[in-house]
Structure 1
Amino acid sequence: MKLKIFAKLSALLSVMGFLLFLSCKAGKTELSSEKAWNRADKILEDIVVPHFPNRTFDVTEYGAKADGSTNNSEAFRKAIADCNAAGGGMVLVPAGKYVTGPIHLKSNVNFHLAEGAEILFSQDKSDYLPMVHTSYEGVELMNYSPLIYAFNQENIAVTGKGVFNGRADNKNWWDWVGKEEYGYKEGMPKQTDEQNLPRLRKMNEDGVAVEERTFGEGYNLRPTFFEPFGCENVLVQGVTFTNAPFWVMHPIKCNNVTVDGVTVRSHGPNNDGCDPEYSKNVHIKNCLFDTGDDCIAIKSGRNNDGRRVAIPSENIIVEDCVMKDGHGGVVMGSEISAGVRNVFVRNCQMDSPNLDRAIRIKTNTLRGGFVEDVYVKDLQVGQVKEAVLKINTYYGIYANQEGEFIPTIKNILLENVVVENGGEYGLLIKGREQSPVQNVKLKNVTIKNTETPLQVENCEPVTFVNTTINGKEY
């Protein structure tokens, strides 16, 4: 009798085990390149690119002078206001050098720089007051105005073949970072002083209302360069950005963003090229990034602010871009508390001895968040310094970055990738024991000349299909 009961129990356990096996297999997403890129193409079809009425508002007709010294803030403001009031059109900046304070865009305005036009932003910090609702490293606050700013507007554009020169340097904005290489000298104010970043981060932890997080004059937090905040249908096309105080392009809480044919050459501190944050349906194409920080960094808020806002960044497509200097080519994090999903990267070139990583995901247990469904294909990498793919859930651990929010990372596919000089690591993955990185796949990947092919911790076994590293097939 006991034998019969034991036999029935064994059979039941076998059936349960098989069912569990099937459920685990069913729960694992098959990384289908064809399905993913069909989804990406559908996202592209649905992104709205703004169009504008055929009206032109020439800033010189409003008194703007291209002499490199006159402050043209009022002329630009009037031209933008008239364009908006008329129902939209183009605000034209002809060739020449124009000094101005911040440019605030309004709905249905295309701010267009003719070839040979250069905007020289004022180096008088008082010009960037009064304070506006903005963000600093993933935390909202009231601070100096971004150099180009739009708040809750729709159908806006910055276009043309001209140059936006932020004129940040070691004596203007950059020294606030607190590093000698950027002009800081002992005793000067810096962003890490107690009244600056520590105060802002404490406000974030304590849930202080954004309108009460006041900084600006008397504080040392740098403004972003181009920041559409809460905007719908945004286009940045053809222009060049250089000498940024901080992040270069920062669409935050935006929907339908197109960045096309833009050049970013800016090597200051935290000079990320493009940082979509809490944003959806973003298309970055035909751009050149040569930066002092990440070329593209997809973000979604820091710690409590990200969890308060709770808007993931999603449906982001990067294609036909060139990445040169930078901490990473396409990066997710580190301000990522609301999560990132549906990121597609194709037909890009990355190559520089000063490019640290090609694809990077960075978070920790204070940030938490998630990253899922990242598809990379047809990537040509000449040289990277540290890693081709780096996933790090211990980012900043030596700066007290441990908390209770365990990040999740899953569904990462690299396909048709060729790397000539892979740097220190081919793959460098540091997951968490409580939440291992899941479902990483390399298909048709060739990595040459890397010191350590794989360093993988707390990650499901990586799937390799037709992949070689240093000539060895995996």
Structure 2
Amino acid sequence: MKFLTWLVVFNLFVFAAFAQGKNYNIVSYGAKADGKTVDTKAIQKAIDDAAKKGGKVIIPAGKFVTGVIYLKSNVELHFEKNAFLLATTKRIDYGLGKASALIVANKANHISLTGYGTIDGQADLLLKDLYAVIKNGTIKDKEWQTYNDWHQMRPEEDNRPVLIHFTDCSDIAIKNITVTNGLDWIQNYTNCNRMVIDSIKVISNTFLNNDGIDLVDCKNVRLTNSFFNVADDGICLKSSDPKGACEKIFIANCKIRSSASAFKLGTASFGGFKDIKVRDIQVYDTYRSAIAIESVDGAVIENIDIRNVTAKNTGNALFIRLGKRQKNIPAGKLTGIYIANVNVQIPVTKPDAGYSMEGPPSLFAHNIFPASIAGIPGHPVQGVKLNNINITYGGGASKKVAYFPLDSLSAIPEKIADYPEFSMFGELPAWGFYVRHAGDISMQNIQIRYKAADFRSACVFDDVAGLQLNNFKVDKTETLPVMLFNKVTKRYLQKIQIPGKSEFAIKTQ
């Protein structure tokens, strides 16, 4: 069944099934809206009863505290206006071993989270309790004594609860709710099929790893009209199963603020990513990349179509990386990427400065990083088409801050097994685009500019087999060559608009 056809059928099913099902108000089961009483048993009993014949569990207006609850097939958990589901702040309530998520569903079908209420993880209070039970030995943690890049102690992820985790579920609707204040990934959907996520708000800047939403090896997903303001990646697709994949996913009309990357494929990338479409995304105050596409664990990434992205005050426009972190797994493939209609403004200052959990300070001095497309020797990024890309850099680069000479390209580290990030190669000799170990790259209708002088070349293309530049404009430059081509074959240039004397503006070596 085609995706849009399935979407219509599924929406009709949800309306019909839950409209006819019985309502189960948690207050009728003894839940108290006082913000103190732990209502886990009452809420779970309402869910269990609703699951018998299918129905809607009502969270009415008020503040209800809960521990771990399990959503079951044919149940809609519906939040009325001004309803708050508050997570317990006792770490022990999530289990002695790996922390359970707050709302769990396993192998459930036809499930929904709907309405206009809020799921609040109460992360500040939960973190205090987590530290206490680690110190007294109730909970074991192997990482919390280690300081991270944010210069604070970091309990391991397994000890920090996810707020929503659905595994092996199908026919899912998540609509209109607000989810906030988590200690880890906010939502984790693993190996789920046929999902509609619409008009949700996710706000969480309490702690590390606060991804707004993670779709892990999911298929047939539609995510639309949603807002994310989070301390880690905003919308993140992952593949943790070598036999799995994220496939047939449509994302549109979302607004993202992130202290990591706004939209990302990866970093976990064992299986694959296929048939992903992204439309009409707004990004602001984002520390890392507006768009990041990464295969570093053997994944095949193909048929990715991203259009209409506007990013203001964002650390990097575009980062496409094929790497190899796993010794015993062959490098993956990255091909068939189309990105169009992108407008990005990159500042000199830290884009997320002032947020409660902003990105870590840089570990080395550097100038502004360019957009990057980078494979590894013998495994190039293939088939990337960029069309109508407009990037404005803050500029202001200085050799006193950092300097990498153009005649030393081979000295730029490969970092084959490193965590993928646009800053991973250190200082680069280009301010606009850096492309290395790639093939069949097409860049049409591109304009790059800077506000303050930058002494570096605009673009460096290194080890590229097949490069097409058509209507490529560099607004101004301080140095020559404007473009450097090193080991570039099958090169096609048309309508290249670059300042400076034409015979010196482009250099081949």
Fold shared by both chains (TM-score > 0.5): yes
Residue in 1 that maps onto 2:391: 447
1:130 and 1:230 map into 2 onto residues whose CA distance is 24
Following TM superposition, by how much is the alpha carbon of 1:402 offset from its aligned partner in structure 2, in angstroms? 5.2
Residue in 2 that maps onto 1:139: none
Residue in 1 that maps onto 2:302: 372
Residue in 2 that maps onto 1:138: none
Question: Following TM superposition, where does structure 1 have runs of at least 4 consecutive aligned residues deviating by more than 4 angstroms?
Answer: 173-176, 401-404
1:192 aligns with 2:146: no
Residue in 1 that maps onto 2:120: 165
Q: Deviations over 1:35-64 (max 9, x none)?
A: xxxx9xx52332334343332111111111
1:358 aligns with 2:297: no
State whether residues 90 and 126 of structure 2, in contact with CA within 8 Å, keep that contact through their aligned partners in structure 1.
no
Q: Tell me, what secondary structure is at the counterpart of 2:196?
A: strand
Residue in 2 that maps onto 1:318: 251
State whether residues 122 and 181 of structure 2, in contact with CA within 8 Å, keep that contact through their aligned partners in structure 1.
yes
**Which has the higher relative contact order, 1 or 2, with Cα contacts under 8 A spaced 6 or more apart?**
1
Residue in 2 that maps onto 1:59: 26
1:94 and 1:60 map into 2 onto residues whose CA distance is 8
Residue in 2 that maps onto 1:412: 337
1:254 aligns with 2:184: no
Q: Deviations over 1:55-81 (max 9, x none)?
A: 211111111100010010111011111
State whether residues 166 and 189 of structure 2, in contact with CA within 8 Å, keep that contact through their aligned partners in structure 1.
yes
What code does the residue aligned with 1:346 have? Answer: R
- Once the two structures are superposed, the pairs formed by residues 255-294 of structure 1 within 5 Å of their partners are 255-267=193-205, 268-294=207-233
What code does the residue aligned with 2:51 have? Answer: N
1:92 aligns with 2:58: yes
Following TM superposition, by how much is the alpha carbon of 1:450 offset from its aligned partner in structure 2, in angstroms? 5.6
Give the share of equivalent positions with the same residue, in percent: 29
State the superposition RMSD in angstroms: 2.9
- Unaligned 5+ segments in structure 2 are 146-155, 349-367, 396-430, 450-472, 475-495, 498-509
Instruction: Calculate the TM-score normalised by the size of structure 2.
Output: 0.69
2:31 and 2:126 map into 1 onto residues whose CA distance is 27
Q: 1:144 to 1:173 in 2, by over 3 A?
A: farther
State whether residues 310 and 344 of structure 2, in contact with CA within 8 Å, keep that contact through their aligned partners in structure 1.
yes
What code does the residue aligned with 1:342 have? Answer: D
Instruction: Calculate the TM-score normalised by the size of structure 1.
Output: 0.74
Quick one: which of 380, 385, 397 aligns to 1:436? 380
State whether residues 105 and 167 of structure 2, in contact with CA within 8 Å, keep that contact through their aligned partners in structure 1.
yes
Residue in 1 that maps onto 2:110: 155
Following TM superposition, by how much is the alpha carbon of 1:394 offset from its aligned partner in structure 2, in angstroms? 4.1
Following TM superposition, by how much is the alpha carbon of 1:375 offset from its aligned partner in structure 2, in angstroms? 0.8
Following TM superposition, by how much is the alpha carbon of 1:190 offset from its aligned partner in structure 2, in angstroms? 3.8
1:355 and 1:243 map into 2 onto residues whose CA distance is 20
Higher share of residues assigned helix: 1
State whether residues 229 and 252 of structure 1, in contact with CA within 8 Å, keep that contact through their aligned partners in structure 2.
yes
1:161 and 1:175 map into 2 onto residues whose CA distance is 30
State whether residues 295 and 334 of structure 2, in contact with CA within 8 Å, keep that contact through their aligned partners in structure 1.
no
Following TM superposition, by how much is the alpha carbon of 1:100 offset from its aligned partner in structure 2, in angstroms? 0.6
Q: Tell me, what secondary structure is at the counterpart of 2:44?
A: helix
Quick one: which of 311, 316, 319 aligns to 1:381? 311
Higher share of residues assigned strand: 2
Following TM superposition, by how much is the alpha carbon of 1:461 offset from its aligned partner in structure 2, in angstroms? 5.1
Residue in 2 that maps onto 1:102: 68
Q: Deviations over 1:388-437 (max 9, x none)?
A: 11023348x7xxx6554212111111111222337734521220112100
Q: Tell me, what secondary structure is at the counterpart of 2:31?
A: coil
State whether residues 369 and 405 of structure 1, in contact with CA within 8 Å, keep that contact through their aligned partners in structure 2.
no
Q: 1:156 to 1:171 in 2, by over 3 A?
A: closer
Residue in 2 that maps onto 1:232: 170
Q: 1:226 to 1:389 in 2, by over 3 A?
A: same
Following TM superposition, by how much is the alpha carbon of 1:290 offset from its aligned partner in structure 2, in angstroms? 0.7
State whether residues 374 and 438 of structure 2, in contact with CA within 8 Å, keep that contact through their aligned partners in structure 1.
yes
Following TM superposition, by how much is the alpha carbon of 1:276 offset from its aligned partner in structure 2, in angstroms? 0.7
Equivalenced residue count is: 380
2:157 and 2:179 map into 1 onto residues whose CA distance is 25
Residue in 2 that maps onto 1:204: none
